[in-house]
A and B are shown apart, each in its own frame.
Chain A
């Protein structure tokens, strides 16, 4: 039963969405809407599962005084402070007339968002700029024709998509300046490659989805 019921659930859920796509009438459209609602609620639980799992791991780390256990403690404190502030602002917001949202400007939650969450998350990703630059210097080599093609396309797009490209080629008529070359690459050869990749991925997804719905692909159930 541990294997059969999940397979039946997968089949029903998948079939409803496929059939409702072709027959958007009752009862299929109602079933589709209901499943959409369930999915939305379930998605929240899936993310909570992740958050709770993180807390569990951190709590274990702290209780066992493992290496860098204090970082686990910081994570737990960060989590609970944010949750407490968001919960408080939400409850206060509901009692306000007119009601306000927990994330509205001026709330403590919004303050955390703007002054803690935003700089930390944004800087984490911004650091990639340094590593891209470093990798460009150390690793990006035109060792063969294909790599050279890649590099040339990259150069044209990099220069053509910012004003400096047209400055460099300012002596040419406007129709032949760098931005026009970049536009041509993006519109035609680049689109062709993207389209081939896109269609290839689509075919892969279609066949895998079919295998999953029909229960042929069941590796996720292994291990029981």
Chain B
């Protein structure tokens, strides 16, 4: 038996082990799940060691002489203090750094890409399509503009949804429902694809039933 055949049998056994959960929770599933958790944690641990600590800190910081990277290590060690009850509070410093950095970066990124660019393109797509004169795109982009506006109105909860405002919000929820419907369709597609992938492994790589 070649190494790849043994590997395929082990992979198949683990695949079937997880699938036994569909019948009911059982010890084979539990063990497979525990192996997954352990291997997964080990995988992340060692990958981060080589790719991050070694290639980033050791190579650049120590061998490359960029001593300012020690700041990251110091914050990292402070983070590990979380494991201790006595000095766990120290971990708040690196956590504060993470929270501050993420808040600062996200504020700008979301403002630019997810708010301003979207508002701009909602309007510019509509004006461009009017200039081109293709009714398919004109109607489509009117739908986008109306849907975006009414959707935003629906999310505005500081004013009671009554009258014209309420009617607009109602249209907004229709658009959001269509969005959720499309998302549902894509989710089904996604989940089925994942199962197809495993069936392909079992039939093709393991049992060699299909070419």
Contacts and interface: CB of A to CB of B under 8 A. Distances in A.
Direct chain A–B contact by Cβ atoms under 8 Å: yes
Contacts of B37: 54, 75, 78
B165 interface: no
A9 B178 CA distance: 44
A90 B49 CA distance: 10
A45 B180 CA distance: 37
B187 A189 contact: no
Interface of B: 3, 7-8, 10-12, 14-15, 18-19, 21-22, 30-50, 52-54, 56-57, 68-69, 71-73, 75-77, 79-80, 82-83, 89, 92-101, 103-108, 110-111, 114-115, 118-119, 122, 140-141, 143-152, 154-155, 172-182, 184-189, 191-192, 194-195, 197-198, 201
Given A126-B198, A220-B99, A197 B179 contact: yes
A213 B96 CA distance: 10
Size bracket, chain A contacts: 35 or more
B107 A190 contact: no
B108 A116 contact: no
B178 A21 contact: no
Nearest to B38: A78
B172 A196 contact: yes
Interface string A195-224: 111111111011011101100000011001
B42 A80 contact: yes
Contacts of B50: 86, 90, 101-102
> Lowest 9 CB-CB distances: which A-B pairs, in order?
A78-B38, A192-B147, A196-B151, A193-B179, A153-B181, A82-B42, A13-B100, A41-B72, A17-B104
